[in-house]
Amino acid sequence: MRPDEEHALCALYDLETHVLPHFNHMVSTEPAVHYCIEQAKHHLSQARELLEAIVIDPQKQFDDGREFYRILSQVLPLMVLAQSFSPPPPDQDEEENLQDTQDSDQSDEDNFEPVTQPHHSESESF
């Protein structure tokens, strides 16, 4: 066994026995925290797959990754082009503000019109 394979197996063992078990008990009702936990689980799962690939078949993992990014580099410009032709989605805060202002009655106190002072020219006499 090569040294890099040994290190990968040790890291994989540590990941599976010391890190991943902590996520079995992590639960949150707060959406932001829940999102972070799920993202950490996802990336740790990817790390596990990559560590396994070092031992099993690193060339296949390498080739698969290159193929994925090759395809992505071809599709991404098309996605950007398609998005440029679609109307922008409405801003949610803006929509809520528009609904609030349509439902409310405006009073004269809400309107601010600056009072302009009449300008007197030097030729005018009092």
With helix as H, strand as E and coil as C, how does 9-24 read?
A: HHHHHHHHHHHHHHHH
Q: Which candidate, 62, 49, 61, places its Cα nearest to that of 15?
A: 49
pLDDT at residue 108, rounded to an integer? 54
pTM over cut 0.85:
no
pLDDT tens for 14-64 read 999 999 999 988 989 999 999 999 999 999 999 999 999 999 999 999 999
